[in-house]
Structure formats: structure tokens, C-alpha cells
Amino acid sequence: MKELNATDYEKQLIEIIKSDKYIMSILKVIENLHLNDAWVCAGLIRNKVWDILHNTVTPLNDIDVIYFDASDTSWEMEKQLENELNVLLPNQPWTVKNQARMHLKSGFNPFSSTYDGVAHFPETPTAIAVRLCNKELEIMAPYGIQDLFEMKVRPTPFYQKDSEFYSIYVERVKKKKWDEIWRSLSIEL
């Protein structure tokens, strides 16, 4: 069997997303909000790929929408955007986070962009985002998407064993219990 490379994984992810009408409807709604540097990230993408690789369907916890706006970092603005999304696509578990304020949650220096925020996610297969831009799918993956498809869970550089943030990574992995849901995962602890 031919070994896949980064381009193959990207093509595969794009095909998975394009063939999922539900995810595409989410991406269209986000694109129509015209938020600065807005993406859908984390669990929606990760879980979809792992579900396909495990031939299962797991419940959706939330739809993580991220954007970057340093001019209004209020929690209220995020809630307003969640309300707008609920009008556009009702009864969905929307979670909106402005990456211009998310550094406060874990004590990092301020992020400079949505990309910078995603680069600070704890695990490599979670540090992935997608969006529609002019009807084209774009993928943002600071650490690539190979770990996602190879079912490897590893800490991103900010959460390595020798960092002050390693315990956050370990706690998340244990709390999420991904290896009980998707049994083929390889989790680095």
C-alpha cells in the first residue's frame, strides 16, 4: 500500500468535508458572517475524520468557531455571534471564541492571529481549522494533518513534557477519554 504524504492527507480531508452536507452548511454560515479570519476548528473536524477511520458516528459536542478581532475582545461579542449563528442555523451547539482574547485563558502572550491561536491548541490533531473562502475550502494546520489521519495524539510544541503547560495537555487527554471512543488512537503521554 502506498504511503500517503501531506498533500494526499489534505486532499482526503477536503473530500471528507466537501462530501458532508452538514459541515458544508456550517462553513457557509460562518463565511456569510464576514468575521475577520474566521474558521471552524478542533472537534468537529477531528471527530469527523476519526469517526470515518473507525467506521462509527459519535455525537457532536460543539461547533468551535474562531476568529480574530483585537478591537472587541469582549465575552459579550462572542455570545452575540453565537446568537446570530443560532438564528442562521438554529439548534446547533455553537461556541465562538475570539483568538485575540484566548491567551488570557492559559497565560500565553497575546496571539497575533487566528493561526497563532490554533498553534497554541494543546494537541496536534485538534490544531486544525477549515473555512470556506470564495467557495473554496481552506485548511489551517500549523502542525500538519498527518497526526489526525494516522490517529496520533501528541502535544503541540507549547505543551511538551518540559513545558509549564504539559499538565494541561495531560488533563485534557485523560478527561476527553478519546482512546475509549476511538480505540485505534495512539496517545502520547
List the chain domain ranges. 6-182
User: What's this model's pTM, rounded to 2 decimal places?
Assistant: 0.92
Mean pLDDT for the stretch of residues 39-54: 96
What's the pLDDT at 1?
42
What's the pLDDT at 4?
58
Residue 2 above 70 pLDDT? no
- Taking all residues of the chain, what is their mean pLDDT, rounded to a whole number? 94
Residue 34 above 60 pLDDT? yes
pLDDT exceeding 70 applies to what percent of the chain? 97
Mean pLDDT for the stretch of residues 22-49: 96
What is the strand order of the sheet 63-67 is part of? 94-98, 63-67, 39-41, 129-133, 136-140
- For domain 6-182, the question of CATH label 3.30.460.10 is answered with yes
Integer Cα distance of 16 and 48 in angstroms: 8
What's the pLDDT at 93?
97
Question: What would the pLDDT profile of 151-161 be if each residue is shown by its tens digit?
Answer: 999 999 999 99
